[in-house]
């Protein structure tokens, strides 16, 4: 709950802005990439992923698979990847369904970024080599989570839970930090956060469904 509250900003759809109310939180053990396997990997972080409700069952059965983002949002910059964020606000853009269907899911997954991480603030020139080498990539956003509030969870998993503050990368094409991995075995879904989007005041644009 704290991770959601500190890293969420309202989603804007048309003239309306939406906050979220948590309906349920489910701890899951997916058949794809169980936690026992990912615990053996290095540099593990608990990160937010956004997805449509219609895709949830497939993700639980097969895990997240690398894909090229087809939406007009910055996630395409990493090539064919599994992209996540330390900001619930970023996941909420994808989890929003429609005004007349206000419920959705935000996903928390354990992501192993590996021993070698490439940090970028603009689109990499050669995403093919990243895909082939299966390196972890961190894209710096205009906002970041306050590192003084981060903590270590069980099994040496880092939780970048902290208030959203301006980063040193105000010219980045990304609003929030995003992380990309290219091997499905580096990601394990841990929690489904069922939310209801509720009308409120002003904020950021959502990607069109």
State how far the Cα of 41 lies from the Cα of 113, in Å rounded to an integer.
9
Considering the chain, what is the average pLDDT of its residues? 84
In angstroms, rounded to a whole number, what is the distance separating the alpha carbons of residues 175 and 130? 22
Retrieve residue 118's tokens: 């490439």
Q: 103-150, pLDDT tens digit by residue?
A: 888 999 999 999 889 998 887 778 888 888 888 999 999 999 999 999
Give the pLDDT score at 76.
59
pLDDT given at position 95? 66
Domains of the chain: 2-200 (3.90.228.10)
Q: How far apart are CA 88 and CA 91, in angstroms?
A: 5
Q: How many CB atoms lie within 10 A of CB 165?
A: 10
Is residue 70 very low, low, confident or very high in pLDDT (cuts 50, 70, 90)? Answer: very low
What integer pLDDT is reported at residue 99 of this predicted model? 60
Whether pLDDT at 69 is above 80 = no
Measured distance CA(25)–CA(42) in Å, rounded: 26
pLDDT at 104: 83
């Amino acid at each position: 709950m704290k991770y959601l509250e500190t890293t969420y900003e309202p989603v804007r759809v048309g003239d309306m802005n939406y906050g979220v109310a948590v309906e349920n939180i489910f701890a899951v053990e997916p058949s794809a990439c169980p936690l026992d396997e990912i615990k053996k990997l290095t540099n593990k972080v608990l990160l937010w992923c956004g997805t449509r409700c219609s895709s949830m069952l497939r993700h639980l059965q097969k895990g997240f698979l690398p894909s090229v983002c087809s939406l007009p949002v910055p996630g395409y910059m990493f090539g064919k990847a599994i992209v996540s964020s330390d900001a619930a606000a970023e996941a909420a853009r994808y989890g929003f369904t429609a005004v007349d269907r206000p419920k959705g899911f935000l996903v928390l997954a354990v992501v192993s970024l590996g021993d070698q991480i490439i940090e970028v603030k603009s689109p990499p020139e050669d995403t093919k080599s990243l895909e082939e080498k299966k390196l972890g990539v961190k894209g710096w956003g205009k906002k970041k989570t306050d590192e003084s509030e981060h903590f270590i969870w069980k099994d040496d998993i880092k939780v970048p839970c902290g208030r959203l503050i301006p980063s040193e990368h105000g010219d980045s094409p990304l609003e929030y930090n995003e992380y990309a991995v290219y091997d499905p075995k580096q990601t394990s879904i841990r929690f489904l956060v069922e939310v209801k989007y509720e009308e409120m005041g002003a904020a950021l644009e959502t990607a069109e469904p």
